[in-house]
Amino acid sequence: MANLWEFTLRTGEQGCYNITQSVKDAIKESGVESGIAVVFCPHTTAGITITENHDPDVCEDVLLGFDRAFPDTPDFKHTQGNSFAHLRSSAMGCSVTIIVDEGWPLLGVWQAIYFCEFDGPRTREYYVKVLGDQMQVPFDDDDLDEEETAGLEEEPLA
């Protein structure tokens, strides 16, 4: 059980897509009460960010700010003409890591997780991986002897 989910998203030309609910769903399905979750975008012209969830103007302003900080310019060498999108993806980052507490993402009240499209429209994927804390009580193992315990110290268990 890898606690790994893949989601698909159909995007417009440019935009921020609130994917928080899908992350909550993945955490719930995982059964993990305490741990972390990694949200990862496998594309190089899109990103993942956390920003305000209340006023949709914030997302538009964030995209406008990225447009201005990282504009398209004629001297980019990449012939596909979308270096500005690669640049914004690299600057924003393609993943976020959040804390899972009591089976829930530990986000601030105004925070949501967004998939940011910089070069759409496209069909996009993103992954959610949920990792629980170290197991606390592994299982009943009345038959475990000393020698086996020592062996475990030398070798990774994976």
- By CB under 8 A, the residues from 102 to 131 that bind a copy of itself are 106-111, 127, 129, 131
Tell which residue, 51, 38, 37, 48, has the closest CA to residue 94: 48
Angstrom distance (rounded) from CA 121 to CA 45: 11
- Shortest distance in whole angstroms from residue 44 CB to a copy of itself: 4
For a copy of itself, the closer of residues 21 and 97 by Cβ is 97
User: Binding marks (x or -) toward a copy of itself, 46..85, rule CB under 8 A?
Assistant: ---xxxx--x-xx-xxx-xxx-xxx--x-xxxxxx--xx-
Positions in 10-29 near a copy of itself (CB under 8 A): none
Beta carbon nearer to a copy of itself, 25 or 33 = 33
Task: Please count the other Cβ atoms lying within 10 Å of the Cβ belonging to residue 74.
Answer: 4
Note the residue count of the chain: 158
Ranges assigned E (strand) in the chain: 4-10, 15-18, 34-40, 46-52, 95-101, 104-105, 111-117, 123-132
- Closer CB to a copy of itself, 13 or 101, in the complex: 101
